[in-house]
Structure 1
Amino acid sequence: MTKSTNIDTVNDVRSAIQNRRTVKKFKKEAVPTEQIIELLDTAVWAPNHKLREPWRFLLFTGDGRKKLADAIEAEMGEDNKFSANVMQVPSIMLVVLEEDPRQNIWDEDFAAVSALVQNFMLAAWSEDIGTFWVTKPFLYAPKFRKPLGIEAGEKIVGMVYMGYPEVIPSAKERTPAKDKLTLFD
């Protein structure tokens, strides 16, 4: 039994992938928490081996962003641009990987969590919500992790800034895949 493919759906998916932008300037208006949860419910459909679902999320909105800023200051001191910056972003989510000590499982799980983040960003873009996937050295620091309840054996795959875009950047060229393709036929 074959399911027919709707060409409009294919084009919508390709369009979303090619037109999504990393947004770094957001309007002050926050994305409703319920909408973020709905987007996560879409994102969890990422491929993940044996349905391990090796992820969890910490969401900081409103006054909750201060807890994230405090954790950054615990590691970097009060005079840093990152803690001030998170107070300007409407919502920030940490995406956490539950690490498995077996390298092959760890690799599969990291790929799954990365696919989840991409799913989330594409789903958000489809609802006019901009995102920015951020990784910083302080994400590894015990002084940052402890107050947020990030345990040993967990990896923060990234912080996802999100909100309604104030500015949408222009597209940047990509190298054509054929330039990086080795074909065996």
Structure 2
Amino acid sequence: MTETLAPSLPSLDQVEALVTSRRTSLLCDPDRPVPDELVDRLVELIRWAPNHKRTWPWRVAVVTGEGRARLGEAFAADLEASGRPADDPKVVKNRTKYLRAPLVLVVGAAPHDNELLDAENRYAVAAGIENLLLGARAAGLASFWASPPVCPRPRALAVCGFPADTELVGVVYLGWPIGEPPVPERPPIETNRVT
């Protein structure tokens, strides 16, 4: 008879410490690269998020070096194409903001013809991003999950190598920390117990 051993799991206290120590932070060294091997491990964590109906919707672009500037120019051009003038503060900021960290992950969801599954794909990708953020914290990285510009984004999708129907869920900045942000006040969760 073969005995199957469960993997050694962290305690709830360790998980709580990891989750409650995670911060949204751009306090990182933009010039110190994150090793590819670590990036690959973090991206792999996305794949282990819950995914109802197993549609596997993950799409990830790893953006480094000059690619960050190209991403910014693409998002800025998409904003301009949606009607914003070139000197609009959002357009101007998008041209340079992706240079604030050495690594930017653009994370998207594959769409689905079924409206419910389309929404579930986005939820699965969001859960995957949280897996990534927790892994980044465990690896000692600073992370910042941002929303992509709100407009049609054909140029940015092309820079990322994504199909035109990709739904962007997040832009995640990662880098080695140069400081710790303050702990934010968090209101209690409204919890209803139904018996």
Greater mean alpha carbon deviation, residues 21-30 or residues 68-77: 68-77
Residue 63 in structure 1 maps to residue 90 in structure 2: no
Greater mean alpha carbon deviation, residues 148-157 or residues 8-17: 148-157
Structure 1 residue 114, shift from structure 2 partner: 0.5
Structure 1 residue 138, shift from structure 2 partner: 4.6
* Structure 1 residue ranges (4+ consecutive) displaced by more than 6 angstroms after TM superposition: 3-7
Deviations along 1:124-149, one digit per CA (max 9) or x if unpaired, are 10010111111133563334434444
How many percent of aligned residue pairs carry the same amino acid?
28
Residue 83 in structure 1 maps to residue 82 in structure 2: no
| RMSD, matched Cα | 2.5
Unmatched 5+ residue regions in structure 1? none
Q: Which secondary structure does the structure 2 equivalent of 1:128 belong to?
A: coil
The CA distance in 1 between the partners of 2:11 and 2:176, in whole Å, is: 24
Matches within 5 A, 1:20-169: 20-27=22-29, 28-75=31-78, 76=80, 77=86, 80-138=92-150, 140-169=152-181
CA shift in 2, pair 1:50/1:172, >3 Å:
same
CA shift in 2, pair 1:18/1:67, >3 Å:
same
Matches within 5 A, 1:8-19: 9-19=11-21
Q: Is the 8 A contact 1:73 1:80 kept in 2?
A: yes
Unmatched 5+ residue regions in structure 2? 81-85
Amino acid at match of 2:17: S
Deviations along 1:146-181, one digit per CA (max 9) or x if unpaired, are 44444343101010011011222111122222xx12
Q: Which secondary structure does the structure 1 equivalent of 2:101 belong to?
A: coil
CA shift in 2, pair 1:132/1:4, >3 Å:
same
The CA distance in 1 between the partners of 2:71 and 2:153, in whole Å, is: 13
Q: Which secondary structure does the structure 2 equivalent of 1:106 belong to?
A: helix
Structure 1 match to 2:83:
none
The CA distance in 2 between the partners of 1:6 and 1:143, in whole Å, is: 45
The CA distance in 2 between the partners of 1:162 and 1:119, in whole Å, is: 14
